[in-house]
Structure 1
Amino acid sequence: MRDGDAVTERRLSPTPPLPERPWAERARRFIRPRRRWCWGTKLVVTASVAWLLFVLCHLLASGRTSLWAPIELIPPLLFLAVPALLLVVAPLARPVRRRVISLLVATAVLGAGSSGVNYAALWYTPPPAGPGGITVAAWNTEFWDQDWRTAEGDRYSPEFYAYLHKLDADVYLLTEYLYVDTRAGDMRAQRWTADLALRIDKLAELRREFPGYHVAASGEQITLSRFPILGHRGLDLRPWLPPDQKEIPEALRGWPEGYTVETLRTDIDVNGTTVSFYDAQISQPPLEWRLYDAGSRDVAFSRTLRREASYRAIGADVAANPHPVVLAGDLNTSPAMGVRRLLPERLIDRTPALSSLYPATYLAGTAELWRIDWLYTSPEVTVHRYELPGAEGLSDHRAQRMVVSVS
């Protein structure tokens, strides 16, 4: 055999396969940089991974443990704003920018449902209302017509009833039908307690302002209806409260519904069909941030249990209710809070009917922060129009106004 033939044979012989690396080594090679990272790259990667871990923890813990409740108070829009800001600086992490961008996009998708953005506003148009449509207004009045922010808290808003008339509703679902005792000092500087609540009776005024309307009230909730009211009752929280919260506070012994009821159910005859309207105002979420303190943890746990009891009372009543359902009111729950999962699957979130891309109902002065007022209905109820009128300085909540019909 000639030397040339030997060289050719060596060239044609197959190259032996390289030994397969274990998966751990392959993962390290995927993550490990080929060159030393600068501080900018390290910061971008650390922040991106940390935010991903936070979003995953939030999705797992929100609405499931009181230890996470204070963290749920973050502005919902942060779930999109943070990854968006990190995407702006992601090109600084040149060695791994593609991986960082992919991670941030996945993080934004995971947090999108908690952001409060109404994506359906970009494409959804509610169906037009027919002759059977009725107008419903739900509003947290913020202590009825009391101007409690004045020094003595004894002024009352003459525009209050004018605003209600402007909503021009067939059914009004109103909450905070009470006054606050301002003699105890500035309510904004202290925690709400039962002795601050003052029961009121405005039935004579309501009948004068809304002649022909029917009225039902329980606790801090009151419903006005142009249609006949067939029955009403407050949903008692006590079956779902722990034993140490079942007892009615001394200050509310003469008005027990002020403690035991956070949702009023009113069955109304709407053009021959019985429709159940649930007028809700669920208690505020825990505001205790010092979770290292046992007392703060106890307060957060107690308030979380009360909020869950209110949701469970609604869920149990709706599950046993054969009628079409409209649930509207102040749930004191932002889009970032997972406790809304306790609502029954039968109820449909009607946010898509809003035209706003970022609907906000909670107001701090002139700033519109985020949404805590909601509208849910059963499938038999169609929402033709849904809007959030301004409160005109009368409340820290926007009203909800909707046109609905029952099929």
Structure 2
Amino acid sequence: MVAATAVWAIVLVLHVLLVDRWWPWLIFEVAPPLTMVAVPLLLLVVTPLARPVRRRLSVVLVVLLLAGAYLAGFGRGWTATPTAGGPAGTTIKVFAWNTNYWDMSDDKDAFYAFLRHQDADVYLLQEYLYWDGDRPVRIDDSARLRAEFPGYRVLVQGELLTLTRLPVVAADHAVPETGADWYWKGGKAQRTDIRVGGRTVSFYNVHLPVPFRIGDDPLSGRFYRELAERWAWRNGELSKLRADLAANRNPVVVAGDFNSAWMEVAPLGGGTRLHTPAGSVLPVASWPVSEYPFPRVWRLDWLFTSPGLTVSGYRFTGGAPYSDHQAQEFRIAVADEAPAAHSATPHTTEGTHRAQAPTNSR
């Protein structure tokens, strides 16, 4: 019991120190946050068997339980204050969702009806592509998108799709055009600067790479080579996102599928703050809602904003049966102030950018 408690204490400390910093730790990061509570609870249950040290062990395990509960996100929604509205200004609705390879396995009409029903001012959608074996397949659904969403701009960067009925000031759209480089080497955080009321707000549509593919053999050398490669890929994209946020002087909204349950341990920086839906003492979970034989105990989808923006009506909703992710729905209130200065980060201007969906490569 003493050894088990000591090992768990070490694991907890290492988790805080190594999340997002050391590629072998990705194996431990896959564990659902509930593990941080389940392990010390289990040890507490059997502590009475260790009679000579049970009282001292119980104290240590209670401390570890409280620390684990904090890391797992218990109480975040309970202590969060629901916001009914924001400052005087403009409030918009945002819908962020990993679509699970667009409408590849879905009823196309029902899929589009689900999207239309959200009636959001800004859609941040991921996995705008199909998948064939180990190969990403580029698609072009631009005609259907324009028919289903009249008055919206359609902005595509690789597998990331942003729809907005608000004026676009600047947008990222450049992706490598060699083979499948548009997916493997294209950016995983699409930035779109949008005019909201009297201000320019930068919206980041994020889909970070998965640490490894479900079903890979963890006893093979290939598994660990790919783990290291994917960690480098993921951290490279995360570093670019953090650098862009640090240089961006606009108010920012960052939302999407981060493929990590530990963004509270490894925040984005750049002055952003993390948001959690209010009202529940339990941690929020967004994956999986379909397809996999696992309970929904991971939160892979996150929302960050800069402090100047007010978030209200934030909730996870829908998703199944069209995706394995729940969607994020929230409202952003933007105060009427003097327009913020633009970032020094180069961006395509509204006058030169044409938001066209890519051509299907099949």
| TM-score, length basis structure 2 | 0.83
Letter of the aligned partner of 2:2 in structure 1? Answer: V
Q: Among 83, 93, 110, which residue is 1:159 paired with? A: 110
Q: 1:127 maps to what in 2?
A: 83
Letter of the aligned partner of 1:138 in structure 2? Answer: A
Q: 1:276 maps to what in 2?
A: 202
Larger Rg, first or second structure (1 or 2): 1
Q: 1:220 maps to what in 2?
A: 159
Q: 1:265 maps to what in 2?
A: 191
Q: 2:347 maps to what in 1?
A: none
Verify the 8 A CA contact 2:277 2:314 in the aligned structure 1: no
- Aligned-pair distance for 1:136? 0.4
Q: 1:383 maps to what in 2?
A: 311
Q: Among 340, 345, 348, which residue is 2:273 paired with? A: 348
Q: Which has the higher contact order (CA 8 A, sep 6+)?
A: 2
Q: Is the partner of 1:260 in helix, strand or coil?
A: coil
Identify, as 1 or 2, the structure richer in helix.
1
Q: How does 1:264-343 map to 2 (within 5 A)?
A: 264-286=190-212, 290=218, 294-335=221-262, 338=265, 340-341=266-267, 343=268
Structure 1: how far apart are the matches of 2:217 and 2:62?
30
CA deviations on 1:364-395 (whole Å, 9 max, x unpaired) are 53831310000000011111110000213100
Alpha carbon RMSD of aligned pairs, Å? 2.4
Structure 2 CA distance for partners of 1:66 and 1:103, relative to 1, 3 Å: same
Structure 2 CA distance for partners of 1:289 and 1:116, relative to 1, 3 Å: farther
- Aligned-pair distance for 1:354? 6.2
Verify the 8 A CA contact 1:332 1:373 in the aligned structure 2: yes
Verify the 8 A CA contact 2:309 2:332 in the aligned structure 1: yes
Q: Is the partner of 1:380 in helix, strand or coil?
A: coil
Q: 1:60 maps to what in 2?
A: 17
- Aligned-pair distance for 1:128? 1.5
Q: Is the partner of 2:45 in helix, strand or coil?
A: helix
Q: Identical aligned pairs, as a percentage?
A: 40
Verify the 8 A CA contact 2:251 2:309 in the aligned structure 1: yes
Structure 2: how far apart are the matches of 1:169 and 1:356?
28
Which stretches in structure 2 are left out of the alignment for 5+ residues?
336-362
Q: Is the partner of 1:362 in helix, strand or coil?
A: coil
- Aligned-pair distance for 1:271? 1.1
Structure 2: how far apart are the matches of 1:384 and 1:71?
33
CA deviations on 1:10-39 (whole Å, 9 max, x unpaired) are xxxxxxxxxxxxxxxxxxxxxxxxxxxxxx
Structure 2: how far apart are the matches of 1:52 and 1:388?
33
Letter of the aligned partner of 1:357 in structure 2? Answer: L
Structure 1: how far apart are the matches of 2:145 and 2:250?
28
Letter of the aligned partner of 2:149 in structure 1? Answer: F
Structure 2 CA distance for partners of 1:210 and 1:258, relative to 1, 3 Å: farther
Q: Is the partner of 1:215 in helix, strand or coil?
A: strand
Structure 2 CA distance for partners of 1:332 and 1:230, relative to 1, 3 Å: same
Q: Among 94, 98, 122, which residue is 1:140 paired with? A: 98
| TM-score, length basis structure 1 | 0.75
- Aligned-pair distance for 1:352? 5.3
CA deviations on 1:190-227 (whole Å, 9 max, x unpaired) are xxx4xx11111111111111111112111101111111
CA deviations on 1:215-251 (whole Å, 9 max, x unpaired) are 2111101111111111100588xxxxxxxxxxx7963
Structure 2: how far apart are the matches of 1:335 and 1:143?
24
Structure 2: how far apart are the matches of 1:209 and 1:88?
56
Alignment pair present for 1:406 and 2:334: yes
- Aligned-pair distance for 1:296? 3.4
Letter of the aligned partner of 2:45 in structure 1? Answer: V
Q: 1:197 maps to what in 2?
A: 136
CA deviations on 1:128-157 (whole Å, 9 max, x unpaired) are 21562111000000111110xxxxxxx643
Structure 1: how far apart are the matches of 2:173 and 2:264?
25
Q: Among 357, 369, 377, which residue is 2:297 paired with? A: 369
- Aligned-pair distance for 1:123? 3.2
Q: Among 128, 133, 156, which residue is 1:177 paired with? A: 128
Aligned residues: 328
Structure 2: how far apart are the matches of 1:161 and 1:369?
28
CA deviations on 1:97-122 (whole Å, 9 max, x unpaired) are 111111112212332343243x1322
Alignment pair present for 1:393 and 2:321: yes
Verify the 8 A CA contact 2:208 2:234 in the aligned structure 1: yes
